[in-house]
Structure 1
């Protein structure tokens, strides 16, 4: 006959008898009952103990009371407390700050490390004379640590190296204690809550899969980190078989891992008692950090100006920046070297959040063949859409050093000798454009790094002669361009078409800059957006064919004219004072004036690169016009005392607005952005990456909604209601449907253009 006990599911299993552990609280309860006159047998039945055990407890009642160190051993929820000294309070406050700091830096902590730190902090605080009683001692015991952890609420800190065990007897008694608390408080089940924390290996997959095996063979940190989990299980005295079941590893593998504990820990760069999700990281030097910031600025600057840059070019530029920064004396360790290898680039790109920068293995060059074919393609699009020159627009971004003098002027030379940030390196971005007819110039959009600079305090930015926008890098982002398109461009061209008595249908031609969203056409059904072929902007972009360069010449001429007026008028001031007082508000007014100098004929002439019929032989071309302006600037400069100023210095300044910055320029530009007060809300808004719908996402949405609508039709017995709901859903999605059709049509046109170009 099988005498083994059966479990609740009916299966026979051997049951090992557990040793009964009696707590001090239970012993005190037995003594209390005995002193109230209860017999030993009754006490045993009430508390679930053998009568012999009860007699043994009563026999040693004196020792039990002495061990408990309490006056009354029957107040279960009351404890004796003592006041902590000023030294203890101050030490624990500093210790909590230290633990939080280590946790933020992912520095693993053990119980021994915290106890050692606590002792040293206690000694330091005591030596500062904060404690009246200089005889106080502190041993950083285990009991102190548990109380300290609860006092400072370090719930997010896991201290490893300790073995926790469950007290089954206390757990068995707790329901009665809780029942009494609920009865005293009159609680129902609804207002009784519980929360608990748990760890989750969020990217772990079964070990017998090729993904797991592939990860295991790769060096560095493992996302699943099974080994550390096994160490934790082993430290908690779990058997190898139980550990293997918990982490999904065979028992033989667990034994092998535990056998080679030291080797595995060394390979994964973690200590054996530390939490599995913490890793050892390597601190980058000050020179590396200071080098990477201006390098990121250089990459974004090249990207903004459509300057192609290869991985090799960046690896060449990085060591030069590193050398410049090292020579500035920012690094204590002068022996550090930097090779700019391929393994350093990807972490750098992630750290700098250069999500909109596409790095090519080979620098792109201008594609003259495709550029030569584009006018015919554009002509076909214009004929199919029935567009006139009044309805065809182009815009382009350009940088402007708004407070820079030619290099051969004493003002520029004086600034170069002064330390710190140089205002001549302060650059803003302008968006300029108009239509092919030349009779409608768009209001310039200005993007600056400060949302509300000091010079504009008290001014209504809506009344400025430019559209004022800001982000911390002073560049046109997708969010800014999309806002410009919806809030200004679309209403402005609609009003222009209405005033000109022409249909409101517009063709907007853009280059492939990262700040130009590809889904602009879905924002307005009356505006069709097409993009120039890649690597052809310098040949085909109308605004690049002289308009922007001449505009900058007019801007500089206006500054020189103002300088002459201020230094020779009734209220005479020195040229140095004039330049020091020249601010961003003055720059805005001069930008407006310079843009007004671009004539209708000038605006039309630049379209001849893609619309040959816009060419006009009777109009003075931009080259001769620009040269005349430069001569005027040179003559005006001599009136100001710039005797060494020549035409080549002015040309150099005009060209510097679009040239790449030097290593020193990027270092100073980065320092400016670090010290200037930029609005935090603006920074956060500009860091948001624009998400664009794809055809596949639209199709998935529509397919999923059809399934939902069909389920509604099948489940709802009310015919009128389910038909109404279906109609409401279709009405709510009409905007998405329109966007989908526009995007599909745009993709079809682009595919056709590409196919046509390849055939040609």
Structure 2
């Protein structure tokens, strides 16, 4: 019972073929070999027993173990631990439909989605973002390769996932370069899930961890879903998912069949750029310099994701053919009332007509990271580094430009909310907005009184007892009992 969680997780990942949970002779070699095997399986590469033995010895040498000799017995136990059938991938092999997208949509997709409601069909995809890029730097960076160099170090990768009706948008998974950025200090809760590796890329281990965590959430809610993903090295075939039906879009069709690529990600980035431009204009008015930190980027991308409307997501699923045009009733969301949200960046700039932003190539600014690399097959050295839990990542993000967050006091927050309240009152803000502001102010006042209330001392209770009983408080020392006698 003490190891209940570990045993249940091992059962779900490895299946029921093992009866005891034993550690392998070399756990690091075992882990590295498993990561390599999953990558080969994702690429549909057949793996034999002798090849496993060779790779195990190669990983052992890279992990500084020259004496390790891999025999047939070790590989047999390896396959048994991880539910691998000799000479082939365990379970059904992933077949890739080479026919046209129309044939896949008409002949394959209906049978896959049978029994699933529109709200239970999800699509997930990664996108890279040059989070510090500003319009004045666009021309300087234009044409620079996204792999290597300074530009790639100033990027993040975000996993974007939503359902076909647009009613559910998963919390973003953001992948940065630094494991412990300095700007995260004093920040207890991030609005996204955050992870890091040296290249800011999605990896198969991150993807698997995300899906298994989601699968556990769905188990508690007793709900089943379909998750559509593309065929990339970071998306391995996962066994023993109980509530997630993982479906791979046919190769070379993601630009047509993947809903996130039909406009959801472009819309997300458009909102992100607008938030950066707004902050730049504010800095110009205050005559201050402004640099986007990783924490700013995370806050902006989360706000941008909330501004992607239900209607936009529905239209993208329809355009991909995942849903028929009659599949939804065109339900409107309260977020859909602002037509400016879906305007492309260049059109939005012409509408706001902001002179402070200057004349730049905003079309290039909006599309410069459309094709940024977000994943790549891991080399043996990458796998070994991950197994060793290499801690060579920078502890700070961007060096001196990323400072610690200054935490405002409760008094600062109260003053700020009162300024906001005054702003809306003077401009005739709606009663609903003013009511929400008053609720926030009331909550802050409660926090203020709670934080300033002094903790009572034992002498305070003594004085109270003296008044009530008109006597003196005389604690008895040395008694066996813990009671206090008056």
* TM-score under structure 2 length normalisation: 0.50
Cross-structure match for 1:204: none
Kindly provide the CA deviation profile for residues 291-335 of structure 1, in whole angstroms up to 9, marking residues without a partner as x.
Answer: xxxxxxxxxxxx9xxxxxxxxxxxxxxxxxxxxxxxxxxxxxxxx
Cα offset, 1:478, TM superposition = 0.6
Q: Which runs of 5+ in 2 are unaligned?
A: 1-38, 40-58, 63-95, 143-147, 374-384, 394-486
Name the CA shift for 1:592/1:492 in 2 (closer, same or farther; >3 Å).
farther
Q: Which one of 201, 207, 210 corresponds to residue 484 of structure 1?
A: 210
Give the number of the structure whose alpha-carbon radius of gyration is greater.
Answer: 1
Q: Aligned partners of 2:252 and 2:357: how far apart in 1?
A: 44
Name the CA shift for 1:425/1:518 in 2 (closer, same or farther; >3 Å).
same
Kindly provide the CA deviation profile for residues 503-534 of structure 1, in whole angstroms up to 9, marking residues without a partner as x.
Answer: 51111111101101112xx2322221111111
Q: Aligned partners of 2:331 and 2:163: how far apart in 1?
A: 20
**Greater relative CO, 1 or 2 (CA 8 Å, sep 6+):** 2
Cross-structure match for 1:566: 283
Question: Where does 1:708-719 land on structure 2 (aligned, <5 Å)?
Answer: none
Cross-structure match for 2:101: 371
Q: Aligned partners of 2:277 and 2:241: how far apart in 1?
A: 43
> What is the DSSP-based 3-state SS (H/G/I as helix, E as strand, rest coil) of the residue aligned with 1:523?
coil
Cross-structure match for 2:396: none
* Alignment partner of 1:394 is 2:106: no
Cross-structure match for 1:467: 193
Cα offset, 1:491, TM superposition = 3.8
Kindly provide the CA deviation profile for residues 625-678 of structure 1, in whole angstroms up to 9, marking residues without a partner as x.
Answer: 654443223566843241x23xxx2221222112368xxxxxxxxxxxxxxxx9
Cα offset, 1:594, TM superposition = 0.3
Q: Which one of 492, 508, 511 corresponds to residue 227 of structure 2?
A: 508
Cross-structure match for 1:633: 349
Question: Where does 1:4-403 land on structure 2 (aligned, <5 Å)?
Answer: 369-376=99-106, 377-383=108-114, 386-403=115-132
Kindly provide the CA deviation profile for residues 599-641 of structure 1, in whole angstroms up to 9, marking residues without a partner as x.
Answer: 1222222111222244778989xx9965444322356684324
> What is the DSSP-based 3-state SS (H/G/I as helix, E as strand, rest coil) of the residue aligned with 1:514?
coil
* Alignment partner of 1:578 is 2:290: yes
Name the CA shift for 1:374/1:625 in 2 (closer, same or farther; >3 Å).
farther
Kindly provide the CA deviation profile for residues 428-453 of structure 1, in whole angstroms up to 9, marking residues without a partner as x.
Answer: 11100111121010001011111112
Name the CA shift for 1:421/1:479 in 2 (closer, same or farther; >3 Å).
closer
Q: Aligned partners of 1:475 and 1:603: how far apart in 2?
A: 25
Q: Aligned partners of 2:363 and 2:237: how far apart in 1?
A: 35
Matched-pair contact (CA < 8 Å) for 2:130–2:156? yes
Instruction: Considering fraction of residues, name the structure with more helix.
Output: 1
Q: Which one of 218, 237, 240 corresponds to residue 518 of structure 1?
A: 237
Name the CA shift for 1:374/1:589 in 2 (closer, same or farther; >3 Å).
same
Name the CA shift for 1:653/1:458 in 2 (closer, same or farther; >3 Å).
same
> What is the DSSP-based 3-state SS (H/G/I as helix, E as strand, rest coil) of the residue aligned with 2:132?
coil
* Alignment partner of 1:449 is 2:174: no
Cross-structure match for 1:659: 371
Q: Aligned partners of 1:526 and 1:617: how far apart in 2?
A: 28
Kindly provide the CA deviation profile for residues 524-578 of structure 1, in whole angstroms up to 9, marking residues without a partner as x.
Answer: 222211111111111000111100001100000011112223333xxx233xx11
Name the CA shift for 1:553/1:389 in 2 (closer, same or farther; >3 Å).
same
Name the CA shift for 1:683/1:455 in 2 (closer, same or farther; >3 Å).
same
Cross-structure match for 1:592: 302
* TM-score under structure 1 length normalisation: 0.33
Q: Aligned partners of 1:369 and 1:398: how far apart in 2?
A: 27
Matched-pair contact (CA < 8 Å) for 2:345–2:362? no
Cα offset, 1:396, TM superposition = 0.3
| Count, aligned residues | 276
Name the CA shift for 1:685/1:601 in 2 (closer, same or farther; >3 Å).
farther
Query: Aligned-residue CA RMSD in angstroms?
Result: 3.7
Kindly provide the CA deviation profile for residues 328-358 of structure 1, in whole angstroms up to 9, marking residues without a partner as x.
Answer: xxxxxxxxxxxxxxxxxxxxxx9xx9xxxxx
Q: Aligned partners of 1:508 and 1:372: how far apart in 2?
A: 20
Name the CA shift for 1:618/1:438 in 2 (closer, same or farther; >3 Å).
closer
Q: Aligned partners of 2:196 and 2:327: how far apart in 1?
A: 35
Q: Aligned partners of 1:628 and 1:532: how far apart in 2?
A: 28
Q: Which one of 257, 262, 265 corresponds to residue 540 of structure 1?
A: 257
Cα offset, 1:368, TM superposition = 9.1
Q: Which runs of 5+ in 1 are unaligned?
A: 1-302, 304-349, 354-365, 662-677, 687-760
Cα offset, 1:370, TM superposition = 2.2
Name the CA shift for 1:456/1:442 in 2 (closer, same or farther; >3 Å).
same
Matched-pair contact (CA < 8 Å) for 2:138–2:364? no
Cα offset, 1:597, TM superposition = 0.4
